[in-house]
Amino acid sequence: MTDFVRVEIEFEALESKRFRMYSGAYVRGFVYWVLGRMDRAFAERLHSSRGISPFSVTPVMLNDYPVSSLEEGKEYRFSITFFVPEIGEALRDYLISANSVYFTAVENPLRRVRVRYVDMGSLEEGPTTKFRVDFVSPCYFRMPSNSYRFVPMPMPELMFRSLARLYSAFIEEVPADYRRWLDEGGIAVSGLKIETEKVLLKKSKWAAGFTGWVNFSMPDDLYSEQHARLTAKLLRFGEYSNVGGGRTSGLGVMRCKIVE
């Protein structure tokens, strides 16, 4: 059974151009543009919905890292993950018949389309006690409060609550005791090297987040094999869903490495 679909698009830049906004915001615009061509009413409902968006994107990448500009003749890529498989399949069908990608107001030659169907069973891993996460694009979290404070720091309880919320929405419910375990300090930061980056997502809307690597570990006195297994699963899921705010604009892209 397919839980979600990832579509990776590679294109050749038709002309050199510097992005006026964060490149992930252009990818988000591309998603709505394509969906609008397939079903305008659906695209408008999705865009105006206040629920959890059923997709995430990466920024435009070269050699696995985000870029701030395009150079004529070079090939770039971005990925879109749909948590409603039917939408991903519709995009696949649309791209099969396309020769170019309308992106940054230019028809760029389409070079490759890769589609991956993912079920969570294929991402199962054993329990983990130590792991490292590389935050490839700026990441921030929201602190639950009346005004939703923005937190550009790798706080484990906020990070894994974010992943648990997405996992519960699209895969299966995460037990409440996992969230309580997070709040008790079940996962801790054991080392990091990060920096803050500020990006423009749309006119007058900026977001500040952190990039870099963070090491995490589970204190012995709070260790739970059940929660350790779920944590490993959420980490793999997060490599597709992104984490934190702005994930539909390419923020919160993460890669994880299980240490032990």
Along the 260 residues of the chain, how does pLDDT read in single tens digits? 678 999 999 999 999 999 999 999 999 999 988 888 777 776 677 766 677 899 999 999 999 999 999 999 999 999 999 998 888 888 888 888 889 988 888 999 999 999 999 998 887 778 889 999 999 999 999 887 666 678 999 999 999 999 999 999 999 999 999 999 999 999 999 999 999 999 999 888 899 999 999 999 999 999 999 999 999 999 999 999 999 999 999 999 999 998 87
CB-count exposure of residue 132 (10 Å: 0-12, 13-18, 19+)? middle
Give the residue extent of every domain in the chain.
Answer: 4-118, 121-258
Measured CA distances, 147 to 1, 143, 150 (Å): 39, 9, 9
Query: For position 191, what pLDDT does the model report?
Result: 97
pTM given for the model: 0.93
Phi, psi of 148 (to 5 degrees): 50, 80
| Token couple for 75 | 């090939």
pLDDT score of 1? 66
| Encoded tokens for 157 | 């309880």
Q: 81-115: buried (b, 16+ CB within 10 Å) or exposed (e) per residue?
A: bbbebebbbbbbeebeeeeebebbeeebebeebee
Per-residue pLDDT, 228 = 96
Write down the H helix ranges in 142-191: 156-170, 176-183
4-118 to CATH, choices 3.30.70.1890, 3.40.50.460, 3.40.50.720, 3.40.50.300: 3.30.70.1890
Cβ neighbours, 10 Å, residue 5: 24
Q: If one looks up domain 121-258 in CATH, what number appears? A: 3.30.70.1900
- Residue 39 and residue 241: Cα distance in Å, rounded? 24
- 100-103 vs 106-118, strand pairing mode: antiparallel
Per CATH, 4-118 and 121-258 having the same topology is answered yes
CA distance 161 to 90: 31
Residues in the chain, how many? 260
